[in-house]
Amino acid sequence: MSDLLWPGDERAGELVGPRALVDAMVRVEAAWLAALVGQGVAPGSAYDDLTHLVHDDDAAVIAERAEPSGNPVVPLVSLLRDRLESRNADAARWLHRGLTSQDVLDTALSLCLRDVLDRVSRDLYAQRDTLADLADRHRDTIMVGRTLTQPAVPITFGVKVAGWLDGLLYTSESVAGAREDLPVQLGGAAGTMAAAVELAGVDQVPGLVRATVRGLELPGASPWHGNRGRVTRTGDALVRCTDAWGRVANDVLTLSRPEIGELSEGTGGGSSTMPHKHNPVLSVLIRRAALTGPMAAAQLHLAAAEANDERPDGAWHTEWASLRDLGRRSVAAGSQTSDLLENLQVHPGRMKDNLAAALPGVLAEQRAMAELAGHELGDGTGDDPAGYLGMSSAIIDATIERAGRSR
């Protein structure tokens, strides 16, 4: 069910939703069980396909039963064992042996967040192409450059778009790095893998880990129960996305004000009482994500700073909802940004008119620089703003080239 208080939540589909998380936890249990059997630790009869053991309504049941243990893994394992017992007692007996709850939940969240980052990456790639084309198309569309809300100097809309694109390129690099740093968690009760060693022996434990890593297609890593840097890195990458998208949305919101009128959303939203309104709803919702994302990431950093002992008491638990919300909201904002950019309406005539209205003030810097350099200029009233665009075209070319190299 979509979140009534987060319009656009449905864009995230099932990502990091209850069923997705349950399915991911089952995948972890299945991969470990298969590794135990495959490495000869558990008998061949202990293998079983766990995929169809859970149903759509099980997430609610698991949630209701999670409080006594403080996490959803314990009731999930109990449910799986109950359903396995009647058809495969050996599988029920070996299920989860050598793991602890944090192993399963951390690894399941890695799987869910990998899907989130993949979805965000697809939107970023599409946005690169859209912005590169937009920057090139409007490299000569002259407009007012504004600083601290006031007219400053002439720019082109193309160089503004190149600024948006530059932010997304940096963000893409962060997402790619985080995507490769979401490993399995296989530490056992206190991060020493003692239970796995007791079951299999020291020599076989690396093989168990490798088999599980292959089964889940996640990177391997030493146990990281108390070291939450990978979690904060993922959160930070998602916030960099909402930061970059928020910057675009902020510009659209400002420039779509009727008194400016230089941009508009392709499909604006209406009002419940004012039929004349053409609200820039996508930009508003993207800005909402940009304003809330940093707080979710801050919670992840707080949890990392408060981690203690070999497994944290409470700090770890605060990560789960923060990761879910940040993941879903970032996906929704990415989808909304793609729609915004694909249908963005640019009004060069208004840009030109607003620039003309800002003359001669927007050329004051040019006159000051010309005087210092000993150049001759007129009184400013007949000067051409197109003659004071600096390296705009070169900046656009460099950014577009970088976008092409990063694809």
Query: Residue 320: which H helix or E strand, with range?
Result: helix 315-342
Residue whose pair of structure tokens reads 């007129």 in the numeric block: 378
Is 261 in a helix, a strand, or coil?
coil
Query: Is the distance from CB of 25 to CB of 31 less than 8 angstroms?
Result: no
- Measure the CA angle with vertex 285, ends 346 and 249; round to 5°: 35
Q: Is 311 a catalytic residue?
A: yes
Rounded CA separation 126/122 (Å): 6
Q: Is 272 a catalytic residue?
A: no
Rounded CA separation 75/52 (Å): 17
Q: List the one residue out of 165, 178, 153, 316 whose CA is nearest residue 234.
A: 178
Query: Residue 166: which H helix or E strand, with range?
Result: helix 157-179
Rounded CA separation 389/159 (Å): 10
- Considering the candidates 128, 230, 311, 324, report the single residue annotated as catalytic: 311
Residue whose pair of structure tokens reads 């407009």 in the numeric block: 143
| Paired residues of 68 in beta bridges | none
Question: Burial, 372: exposed, middle or buried (Cβ in 10 Å; 0-12, 13-18, 19+)?
Answer: exposed
Rounded CA separation 103/185 (Å): 5
- Considering the candidates 45, 69, 222, 271, report the single residue annotated as catalytic: 271
Rounded CA separation 297/8 (Å): 21
Maximum pairwise Cα distance, the chain: 93
Query: Is the distance from CB of 162 to CB of 395 less than 8 angstroms?
Result: yes
Residues 6 or more apart in contact with residue 288 via CB below 8 angstroms = none
Tokens read off for 117 = 């980052």
Rounded CA separation 299/283 (Å): 25
Quote the distance between the C-alpha of residue 404 and its chain's center: 22
DSSP letter string over 269-326?
A: B--SS-TT--B-HHHHHHHHHHHHHHHHHHHHHHHHHH--SSS-SSHHHHHHHHHHHH
Radius of gyration of the chain (CA): 27
Rounded CA separation 134/138 (Å): 6
Task: Kindly list the catalytic residues.
Answer: 271, 311
